[in-house]
């Protein structure tokens, strides 16, 4: 399968799901992850990885780690309030 760059729309939809899921539910077998993956034409594994990438950018100090992709930070900075980012 050829790699495709994530569109801004795909990132925003994935970030919206991230805001709804607890960290332990961010996996490819979660029905919500699978449904989003189908809707945005990505694999459930790709969506799950992107969710964890967003977790690495979360200003909440819950010890979440994983490197994020270049576009992830741009989208997260757009959505996460400045006050929340400066608190971390």
Q: What ranges do the domains of the chain cover? A: 8-59+72-77
The answer to pTM > 0.85 is no
Q: At what angle do helices 31-39 and 44-57 cross, to 10 degrees?
A: 100
Tell me the CB-side half-sphere exposure of residue 75, using CA atoms within 13 A. 22
Give me the residue label for tokens 């569109």: 7
pLDDT 10s digits, 60-83: 635 444 455 656 666 666 666 544
Q: What was the pLDDT predicted at 66?
A: 44
Q: What was the pLDDT predicted at 26?
A: 92
- Residue 50's nearest CA partner among 5, 1, 87, 84 is 5
pLDDT 10s digits, 20-72: 888 889 999 999 999 999 999 999 999 999 998 888 887 763 544 445 565 66
Q: What was the pLDDT predicted at 24?
A: 86
């Amino acid at each position: 399968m050829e790699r495709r760059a994530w569109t801004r729309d795909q990132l925003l939809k994935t970030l919206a799901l991230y805001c709804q899921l607890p960290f332990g539910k961010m996996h490819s077998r979660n029905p919500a992850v699978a449904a989003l993956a189908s809707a945005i034409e990505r694999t459930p594994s790709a969506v799950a990885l992107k969710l964890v990438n967003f977790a690495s950018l979360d200003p909440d100090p819950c010890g979440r780690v994983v490197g994020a992709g270049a576009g992830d930070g741009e989208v997260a900075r757009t959505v996460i309030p400045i006050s929340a980012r400066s608190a971390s």
